[in-house]
A and B are shown apart, each in its own frame.
Chain A
Amino acid sequence: MIRHHLTDDILLAYSAATLPEAFNLMVAAHVSLCDDCRARLEAFDAVGGAVLDDICDSVGMSDGALAATMALIAGGPPVGVPRAARRAGVLPAPLQDYVGGDLDAIQWRPVGMGVKQAILPTSKDAAARLLLIPAGAAMPDHGHGGLEMTMALQGAFIDAGERFGRGDVEVATADLAHTPIADIGEDCICLAVTDAPLKFKSLLPRIAQPFLRI
């Protein structure tokens, strides 16, 4: 049961295609897990459809356009990656496309105190990474210049008294000091996206005391 959802402005921006690639990946991954946000997103798409149909100035096509399109069709569907269908595994399909598989395909790099990360290849205007936080451990102190969104994929993390399980998204802004801590019981794997490069401040992050925070 997902309790922490995407905001309307993020969904609208995804629909209108104004987000950086890393945030598009977050939206695609969350919507794969959350039918409530999928319905809200498709409602915003419906506004886009109405804009296209009704208030967009149409521009005449060239004379041979229909014939040229029929020729395109006769050439067969383009060779390309078909849109991802539902797949088994922990990672939603759009994330599997970036990783090249499920959890066992992730190339983890240690960032200290047992925490590992894997940076995903997106455009440079924002960054997306997978994080693995050992059960009961804290995510290292890190600075981020702007908006950060974190979604749990396996296990759960706890931040500011709220628990974020699989599919739950935490939205943090630059002025919010926060330290997500993995719930005990299972290592937490999450997707984090930031609109400014995320930098870990210290190679020796402080040791978490999760029970004091709950």
Chain B
Amino acid sequence: MIGSLSAWGQGFVNGTQDNARPDWVSQVERVRDHQDREAFAELFRHFAPRVKGFLMKSGADATLAEECAQDVMATLWNKAHLFDPARASVATWIFTIARNRKIDLLRKQRRPEPEDLSWGPEAEPAQDDALALQQESEHLRRALSELPDAQRELIERAYFGDLSHSEIAAETGLPLGTIKSRIRLALDRLRHAMR
């Protein structure tokens, strides 16, 4: 059964069975490799309402947020080949797409982005790197949900754009060291592959 799925694409189970959450990587892979509409529909059902909620909390009205969420999901389809599971969870990748659209739409500003680093056709991230990063992302998600309410709300408000940068404490109280090290490792391997 596992053979029918790519090893890192399979949703992993973290903790007890009823706590299992898909990591969505296999769906993005199926969209990327086979333009799989059913996989896309699964992603859409989970993420589109979240993106819409995120944009409304950031100040968009319902009509604009709906339109923008559709646009973000279409971007996911078009850019599926750029997703790197050794550096980001699917939720993180969608967050970055939604955030950039938010700046276009709500602030009418250009969003300068760093130079793109992506795996070429000859090389892909190692499966165990990708799996480790996906597991770290799940740990981070849980750590966030377990923070005291006041602290969690502060972080939430920061990402909705409610706080100016001087008001956001850089100390989030979250275990970011491990995930940063994982991403750094993936970047080193990517740089090596790009040579």
| Interface set of A (CB-CB < 8 Å, partner B) | 7-13, 15-19, 21, 24-25, 27-29, 31-32, 35-36, 38-62, 65-66, 68-70, 72-73, 77, 83-87, 92-94, 97-98, 122-123
Contacting pair B155 A51 (CB below 8 A): yes
Interface size on B, residues (CB 8 A): 79
Q: Which 8 pairs across A and B sit closest by C-beta, in order of nearness?
A: A49-B92, A13-B165, A8-B170, A58-B49, A53-B91, A49-B91, A28-B112, A39-B184
Contacting pair A52 B54 (CB below 8 A): yes
Contacting pair A38 B187 (CB below 8 A): yes
Given contacts A15-B159, A53-B89, could you give 12 more A-B pairs where the C-beta distance is less than 8 Å? A21-B109, A38-B183, A45-B88, A46-B92, A46-B176, A49-B95, A56-B50, A60-B49, A60-B52, A77-B78, A94-B113, A97-B112
Residues of B within 8 A of A92 (CB): 114-115
Contacting pair A70 B183 (CB below 8 A): no
Contacting pair B92 A48 (CB below 8 A): yes
Residues of B within 8 A of A54 (CB): 141, 144-145
Stretch of B7-15, B67-75, B123-131 on the interface side? B67-75
Contacting pair B89 A46 (CB below 8 A): yes
Q: A12-B168, A49-B89 are in contact. Are A21 and B110 (CB under 8 A)?
A: yes
Residues of B within 8 A of A9 (CB): 165-166, 168-170
Q: How far is the CA of A10 from the CA of B164 in the complex (A)?
A: 11
- B51 in complex: contacting residue of A52, A73, A84, CB < 8 Å: A52
Residues of A within 8 A of B88 (CB): 42, 45-46, 49
